[in-house]
Amino acid sequence: MKDFPLPGWEAQRLMSPIQHSVHPKTPEDATLAAVFLLLKPIPDTDQFTLLFIKRASKYANDKHKGQVSFAGGKKEPEDNSMLACGLREVEEELGFSRDKVRVLGALSTFYIFISEFLAYPFVGLIPHDTVLVPEPNEVDYIIEVEMDTLFDPESKQVRVHHFGKTIFKNSPYYDLGEDMLWGATAMMTSEFEAILKQMD
């Protein structure tokens, strides 16, 4: 994966709810954060699931509460790199040792203007028998989606989406059944999907 060029905004914008022609400019004081796209093998197949979390809704100031996202969070003083930040967050939110993660590469940095985070997305592989123990203060539940299902063209839908007082018309999303993947996480997922198509 590390040898493939990153498509960046060209792929991200396909799932953008705003449909800007260019990505919003990243301010110099944006808060640094890291997230992990975690792949888990499906035993006895050559297929994988991609892990998402449903964020807990208990924190009133969390602008992403209740949404589907990747495991991750903001950089803390003890993190000596953005990768270290992402691995720490995986361990804290999903309840397994960061040593289990085989890092495959990174996606394009991504500015999330809603929360003013500059996210560093990483891609990792975990063993199929990894026991996931969600941290209840951070995670309502974990969502595992087979990649063939997630990237089926029929999984991409469009709807009117309400976020606070903002209304997004023709907002694209990945249909996860009972859950909906949209916004920044969907845009990062779209870049990952584009890279997989390059690899094929």
CATH number of the domain enclosing 184:
3.90.79.10
Higher pLDDT among residues 80 and 162, named by residue: 80
Structure tokens at 138: 């951070």
Note the pTM of the prediction, 2 decimals.
0.92
Is 21 a member of any domain? yes
How much of the chain, in percent, has pLDDT values that exceed 70? 92
Q: What would the pLDDT profile of 100-148 be if each residue is shown by its tens digit?
A: 999 999 999 999 988 889 999 999 999 999 999 999 999 999 999 999 9
Is 73 a member of any domain? yes
Higher pLDDT among residues 23 and 2, named by residue: 23
Mean of pLDDT over the chain = 91
Give the per-residue pLDDT at 168: 78
Q: What would the pLDDT profile of 5-14 be if each residue is shown by its tens digit?
A: 899 999 999 9
Is 3 a member of any domain? no
Q: What would the pLDDT profile of 166-175 be if each residue is shown by its tens digit?
A: 787 889 999 9
In 49-182, alpha helices (H): 82-94, 147-150
Tell me: pLDDT of 200 over 90.
no
Give the per-residue pLDDT at 46: 95
Q: Tell me the residue type at 114.
A: I
Measured CA distances, 30 to 72, 90, 97 (Å): 16, 22, 29
Give the per-residue pLDDT at 21: 67
Give the per-residue pLDDT at 58: 61
Question: CA-CA distance, 116 to 118, in Å (whole number)?
Answer: 7
Is 165 a member of any domain? yes
Give the per-residue pLDDT at 137: 92
- The confidence band for 63, taking pLDDT boundaries of 50, 70 and 90, is low
Is 1 a member of any domain? no
Is 182 a member of any domain? yes
Instruction: Report which of 134, 104, 76, 112 is spatially closest to residue 188, judged by C-alpha positions.
Output: 112
Is 4 a member of any domain? no
DSSP 148: H
Tell me: pLDDT of 164 over 80.
no
Q: Sign of torsion, CA 113 183 82 95?
A: positive
Is 2 a member of any domain? no
Structure tokens at 184: 């920044």
Question: CA-CA distance, 73 to 16, in Å (whole number)?
Answer: 21
Instruction: Report which of 176, 188, 105, 191 is spatially closest to residue 144, judged by C-alpha positions.
Output: 176
Q: What would the pLDDT profile of 64-92 be if each residue is shown by its tens digit?
A: 568 999 999 999 999 999 999 999 999 99
Give the per-residue pLDDT at 5: 84
Structure tokens at 198: 């390059």
List the Cα angle 145/148/150 in 5-degree steps.
50
Question: CA-CA distance, 74 to 86, in Å (whole number)?
Answer: 9
Burial of 84 (0-12, 13-18, 19+ CB in 10 A): middle
Measured CA distances, 82 to 15, 68, 195 (Å): 25, 21, 21
Range of the domain at 39: 9-199
Number of domains in the chain: 1
Tell me: pLDDT of 62 over 60.
no
